[in-house]
Structure 1
Amino acid sequence: MRLQLKQEWTLGKPIGQGGFGSVLEATSEETADAVAKLIPKEPGAERELLFADLSGARNVVPILDSGETADSWVLVMPRATRSLRQHIESAQGRLPLHEALVILSDIATALTDLHNRVVHRDLKPENVLLLGGRWCLADFGISRYAEASTAPDTRKYMMTYQYAAPEQWREERATSATDVYALGIIGYELLAGNRPFRGPSTHNFRDQHLHNHPDPISGVPLAVAALVEECLYKAAQARPTPPNILARLARASETTPSAGLAQLQQANLSEVNRISEEARAASEAQSEEERREELAGSAGLALTRMTDYLKDAILANAPTASFQSHRRGGAGWNIMLNGATLKFTSPVTEQRYPWGQRSIPSIDVVASAELSVSVPENRQGYGGRSHSLWFCDAQTVGEYQWYETAFMDSPLMNRLSRTVDPYALSPGSEAAGAIGPGIMTVQVAWPFTPLSIDAIDDFVDRWAGWFAAAAQGSLWRPGTMPEKPTQGTWRQH
């Protein structure tokens, strides 16, 4: 197959398949050994995405020619001896220190020349090629092309999981520090003989890159181990710059340090470990906040669906009732009938540890809301009942759903002092006492009852019955509480 670009090329047999195109042998009158990468013209992916200003950069695979066919963009490059991935696999384990330092220095040289100019965003051994005796970077622009050519609903996590920096998992903007992180992964792989994070699932990789420390690299100078660990800091701004990496690799390639310098390097490694732990903790906190926001968003949708079902059932069966949305927005509402009020308050996102000075319960509450039925106080001073709605992992660690519960004062106290009985509580010190160990002044009055839209009838029937009783003047304080057995309906330490 002949292809006319700036010069005419003869394309031969395939020699590889990339994530976004095929690679073919290519020759011309001027160049006997090259490759042509044919990249499909995907919607949204413009030609310019594949090209970046790499002028003057060392250790970057050059583009010999470029152009297009009817359905592909074409990049012609010199044919490399091998990829770093092939080199790693042939070594079948860790590389000798000197060889690893040479490879890392070659990569760092390219990143230094491109620092604050171009971000690769998908640096990995497959994209590092041995060309003319030096390890060079290839496929600049491919990751930007891949993102542009991917539909928005499938674009999430468009990256190579083993080498992706924490900021990529958070879908933040990639910078030079993103390439430094990938260089740290490569360095670890060369020096330890395996990658620091091994997945295997997408969820595992995300969790490991965001939270986990890699195991220390043994059998290498402390200065080298510290440098790799610094490249793997979770906080992008804490990672060394490519020029700093290149200078330190050059020093590491020199003579063995004296006893005093070796001791200083040990002290430096301790400081690296301390900073790394701080960065890991910050990354974990940020990731936890994201996790809770995602859970709270899903929880709000689920609860709105269930309470709308309750609202619609009440209004359909009591058409004379009046309905009022809460003025402050959200999903809250009131339904009034003959002096009785059924009230739903919108869910709010809870803090990670809302329990005050109490011992922390084992339950993690992500969001909470309240449902109540009330009447003007009757002659016994009773005004109605309210229940807590908690989105939490009440029964199985890490498995979240909505639960309905309620609280009461201890039988040793004067229950008649409360006009609302049982009553709702937000997660806090009082609730912590009720669901924690021991006997406290507040106790659980209604078992933690799972709520779901596919088993909603009992929930609707109970609240419709209480609302009807309130409207008829026959809603009374429960004669005994708890009204149902509560033991074992939530997790304890």
Structure 2
Amino acid sequence: MSALETCVRYGMLVAEHQFDLGEIRDMRLQLGREWILSERIGRGGFGQVYAAKSADHESAVAKLVPKEPGAERELLFVDLSGVRNVVPIIDSGETEDSWVLIMPRAEKSLRQHLHEAGGSLDTPEAVAILRDIATALVDLDGKVVHRDLKPENVLLLDGHWCLADFGISRYAEATTAPYTQKHALSPPYAAPERWRNERATSATDVYSLGVIAYELLSGSLPFAGPGLDDFREQHLHRDPPYLNGVSAALETLVTECLYKAPGARPSPANLLARLARIAESTPSAGLAKLQEVNCAEAVRRGESARRESEARSESERRAALFDAATKGLSRIAGSLKQAITDAAPAATVWPGPHGGWIIRLNQAELGFVPPVATAPNPWGSWDPPAFDVIAHAALSIKIPIDRHGYEGRSHSLWYCDAQEAGRYQWFETAFMISPLIPKRGRQNPFALNPGIETAKAVWNGLAEFQVAWPFTPVRVSELDQFIDRWAGWFADAAQGQLHHPISMPERSPEGSWRRT
């Protein structure tokens, strides 16, 4: 298992530049008071924790956080006075290399407590812990967002479960270190907006509390990963498994906390009030029935939010691929255009529709139709192909119609993963009418946009339309054959020697695209 995967499995990521003081004994720090540091008792992505004792024998812990570029002192030393259930900072200062935070020594973390309990808690205890956390979120709402709630950062102190590491989270968010920016999150607990690098709000902490609630009640995570990409996919696009063995009211609340859309999650105040009602009352039969109905509606809304998140991610994915497709084809078409005009300076270049171009020589025209974004499902009612098309364009050569009714040929250019799933590139292909059908077009072969006609052509069975040219990769680094072929056809057309192909298809297309 890699170091990264190991850290993901334990709910945190440790930066590659993790500073390490190792084991230190009797290190003295003069802050507001003098503190003596002894054994290391914990570490995380942005600091290490040591046992500490003041000169007057007060036990505490010292967290030493490295001074990263761009992270200012005030990010760590946030004023949380008046906020309930937050581990306070009782002293602070700095060394040459680190910020130092002195905090009371807690009895244990929620992670340790879960481990001692065998992985899950009964409902009353779980609700009591969640109420403590929600109380802190209520007081923090509109002031500070934790951004990294997880059982490791919830500590038992003076009989209450308190949140720790607020400053560390703000520090991690603001640092300019590229590694930190990318991985300053704990994958099992990170809200969808964190994976999208969007602004964190109180709803982000509510989502993480929902993950903690699910874990406390079920003994497992709602999204199990295990890899970083798995966690991202699950938080953005998957619904958590149904939470069994709890009341409808509690199931509904956890479901709402885990909504993909931040605006759909309960506010901290609403969350706390509902937890209080769950803890303090037993619903009547009628109310219990109504809560069951409400739970079903919450699940339905969660499914709707999941679909919206999935559609948004798919739209973003297609937009990024279309941008790459456009840039790549611009170079391909530009290279072809340059080679043709260099070889035939007597040719004239005209603007074509929608930003394309036309090159004329004698009575022949070589035309380029620029890329258009392909709809996610353009195949109509026909069986879709096994591959995904992001964009489509076309090249054509036109001549005056000859006595056989022939006026040239055109080929499709598709940006798709025709040959290897998930590997997108430009492919050249073309189509024809089945030889079994007594019908001939003026162009042969001809270009088609992705749609029901082309779905028929790449189908496993026989249909009216067929593939007439194999799906051939067109790569910017390997354009010689592509350019030579089109230059030759254009030269034939300019001399009146471009004729209908002797046989169709000209090249066997079999095996050139993936089938279902």
What is the TM-score normalised by the length of structure 1?
0.91
Matched residues in 2 for 1:22 and 1:4: separation? 18
Distance 1:304 1:200, change over 3 A: farther
Alignment partner of 1:433 is 2:459? no
1:418-442 Cα shifts (integer Å, max 9, x gaps): 2x32221111233233334654443
Offset at 1:54? 2.2
1:272-317 Cα shifts (integer Å, max 9, x gaps): 1111111111111111111212222233333344444444544555
Give, as a single letter, the amino acid of the residue that structure 1 aligns with 2:160.
R
Offset at 1:339? 4.5
1:175-194 Cα shifts (integer Å, max 9, x gaps): 11110110010011111111
Matched residues in 1 for 2:381 and 2:473: separation? 28
Note the 1:96-245 alignment, pairs <5 A.
96-152=122-178, 155-245=181-271
Q: Which runs of 5+ in 2 are unaligned?
A: 1-26
**Aligned-pair Cα RMSD in Å:** 2.6
Matched residues in 2 for 1:206 and 1:343: separation? 43
Matched residues in 2 for 1:88 and 1:120: separation? 21
Note the 1:51-450 alignment, pairs <5 A.
51-152=77-178, 155-315=181-341, 317-318=343-344, 321=347, 332-378=356-402, 380-411=404-435, 412-416=437-441, 418=442, 420-436=443-459, 439-450=462-473
Q: Which runs of 5+ in 1 are unaligned?
A: none
1:299-347 Cα shifts (integer Å, max 9, x gaps): 3333344444444544555555556676966xx5444444544333332
Give, as a single letter, the amino acid of the residue that structure 1 aligns with 2:426.
W
Alignment partner of 1:25 is 2:48? no
Matched residues in 2 for 1:294 and 1:78: separation? 49
Offset at 1:147? 3.3
Q: Percent identity?
A: 60
Give, as a single letter, the amino acid of the residue that structure 2 aligns with 1:448.
F
Task: Tell me if the contact between 1:180 and 1:239 (Cα under 8 Å) persists in the aligned partners.
Answer: yes
Secondary structure of the 1:449 match is strand
Number of matched residues? 489
Secondary structure of the 1:44 match is coil
Matched residues in 2 for 1:251 and 1:193: separation? 23
Offset at 1:140? 1.0
* Segment of structure 1 superposing worse, 73-82 or 253-262: 253-262
Task: Tell me if the contact between 1:157 and 1:171 (Cα under 8 Å) persists in the aligned partners.
Answer: no
Task: Tell me if the contact between 2:155 and 2:162 (Cα under 8 Å) persists in the aligned partners.
Answer: yes
Task: Tell me if the contact between 1:51 and 1:140 (Cα under 8 Å) persists in the aligned partners.
Answer: no
Offset at 1:206? 0.9
Distance 1:154 1:105, change over 3 A: closer
Offset at 1:85? 1.5
Give, as a single letter, the amino acid of the residue that structure 2 aligns with 1:353.
N
Secondary structure of the 2:100 match is strand
2:501 to 478, 481, 487: 478
1:368-401 Cα shifts (integer Å, max 9, x gaps): 1212233444554433221111122324444433
Matched residues in 1 for 2:180 and 2:469: separation? 43
Secondary structure of the 2:320 match is helix
Give, as a single letter, the amino acid of the residue that structure 2 aligns with 1:149.
T
Offset at 1:205? 0.8
Secondary structure of the 2:395 match is strand
Matched residues in 1 for 2:110 and 2:195: separation? 25
* Segment of structure 1 superposing worse, 375-384 or 287-296: 375-384
Task: Tell me if the contact between 2:108 and 2:155 (Cα under 8 Å) persists in the aligned partners.
Answer: yes
Matched residues in 2 for 1:296 and 1:154: separation? 29
Task: Tell me if the contact between 1:354 and 1:428 (Cα under 8 Å) persists in the aligned partners.
Answer: yes
* Segment of structure 1 superposing worse, 334-343 or 249-258: 334-343
1:114-172 Cα shifts (integer Å, max 9, x gaps): 12222111111111111111111111132332233244587335311111111111221
Matched residues in 1 for 2:349 and 2:166: separation? 60
Distance 1:444 1:144, change over 3 A: same
Secondary structure of the 1:272 match is helix
